[in-house]
Structure 1
């Protein structure tokens, strides 16, 4: 079984005007929850993990679980490493079998961001691995990366063009006013900036901080060219809240099979709502065709 490079599915999503959700999972049962959710809706899927989750579970274990899920549910699935600043960890994940990685050098000056991105591109472009990079600074907290609201910076459209020319990176996450975590108020999304960037570059754009953005704003972002939407905090919260409610109702019911079943269902329900929101339900067959002979009878082979 193989996992797929997410570049073709994201290009198709951008061309066809829908989005693909990338779910941050922190346990193997969360991974299966989102895979089952996508399979029931016949949707392509990106599963992603933070560096902290990689260190906790081990990249080989995560890859094995993702491959097993792709085999069981027979959907095109990519496995992505989110917000990695450590080149060695990134290479370790590629060697383990990740099919997409994000090199986050957005905290550096433009030229240094280019240099670090090219360092990753020099490896990934020969291995059929998608690379995502960020321009500007998305606010909030993601694992151990903390960007204060005052330090958050929106991407400059002309710099996005230059960055892609200098790196050839196939997916770009421009900061456009969203933030990681749950918003305390309405997000300040710069739709005009998204449109300008999308009109200047043809690579799929990535919407970071997708948790709890109002539905109408998500749909507008997707219509303007955001092809990948990251969802982390909402999924984690739904999963954890189900466990919390289990023990509030039944404090002595300590069987993990009981509370984890509830947590998985909550995560699955949340995942399906996000898949429908970006419009990728029913798109798995179209995406599957992009990968040609890697498929047989709807299942990945390798």
Structure 2
């Protein structure tokens, strides 16, 4: 089933679990993530960054994910992750993405509001969900700018004003996580998250979750997170499987064989996260 994220996240919020949003890079990622969702009977969000879209195209990803979703018995959504401007979001909407994120977190508060509102005005006309970001998720997302040396936390009072003025349907918040590979023990500021939740009714989103301990993620879900993003872990899992196969079979020239092991690794990672997020058997 090819669906949008609005009811998926509202159901998660009501049921006190979270839906996993997994970044997909190619056909193998798409097949592995959807296979995991099928086995776990879990709703799932597949998402692409601008970097992945530049590598292929919006149309390629829509065609792949729509094909996988229509053959699946579980809800599957396609989301634009870290949309890097108004034009990119509109292009994704026209291509057939079922939700978009506009990332204005690298501009001023007022400019972020203006940018986000410009996207929600377009999306509201067709009832398409829009995720926004307020605060700083550290590290480096795809080919975007590195975030360092800034206050990473979302201000709960600013968040309330931001949502009221932009009408976004979900909000990615800065609570201590970072994109990419962690070089220390990650720590989610649960108190900040609880303060944000107390002022907002819309679903909250956790970015930069690859490598965050499961118990911290589970606590974040109890404190109001309804969507949890994973990207780096899937890339690592696929690459390890592919390279392990080639190391053992250096004469191989059939790319399907190492790819199959990479897909097995992705599927295992996704299934484990679905159990921890509480989305297993929630399709």
TM-score (ref. length: structure 2): 0.97
Deviation at 1:82, TM superposition (A): 0.5
Deviates more, 1:119-128 or 1:226-235: 119-128
Asked if 1:118 corresponds to 2:144, the answer is no
C-alpha distance in structure 1 between counterparts of 2:113 and 2:20, whole Å: 26
Report the 3-state secondary structure (helix = DSSP H, G, I; strand = E; otherwise coil) of the residue aligned with 1:261. helix
1:103, distance to aligned residue in structure 2 (A): 0.5
- Asked whether the 8 Å contact 2:104–2:112 carries over to 1, the reply is yes
Partners in 2 of 1:256 and 1:109 — Cα distance? Answer: 46
Q: Which residues of structure 2 form unaligned runs of 5+?
A: none
Q: Does 2:3 match 1:4?
A: yes
Range that drifts further, 95-104 or 143-152? 143-152
Q: Which secondary structure state, in structure 1, belongs to the residue aligned with residue 79 of structure 2?
A: strand
**1:1-302 map, 5 Å:** 3-151=2-150, 153-284=152-283
**Aligned partners of 1:217, 1:149: CA distance in 2, in Å?**
22
Contact 2:156-2:195 within 8 A present in 1 as well: yes
More off after superposition, 97-106 vs 251-260: 251-260
How far does residue 149 in structure 1 lie from its aligned partner after superposition? 2.8
What is the DSSP-based 3-state SS (H/G/I as helix, E as strand, rest coil) of the residue aligned with 1:73? coil
In 2, Cα distance between the equivalents of 1:173 and 1:188?
A: 16
CA RMSD, 1 decimal: 1.1
- Structure 1 residues 33, 190: closer, same or farther in 2, change over 3 A? same
Structure 1 segments, 4+ long, off by >4 Å, are none
Secondary structure, in 3 states, of the residue corresponding to 1:179? coil
Per the TM alignment, residue 152 of structure 1 is displaced from its structure 2 partner at its CA by 5.0
Structure 1's unaligned 5+ residue stretches are 285-302
Assess if the C-alpha contact under 8 Å between 1:219 and 1:277 holds in 2: yes
Residue in 2 aligned with 1:296?
none
1:119 Cα deviation from its structure 2 partner? 0.4
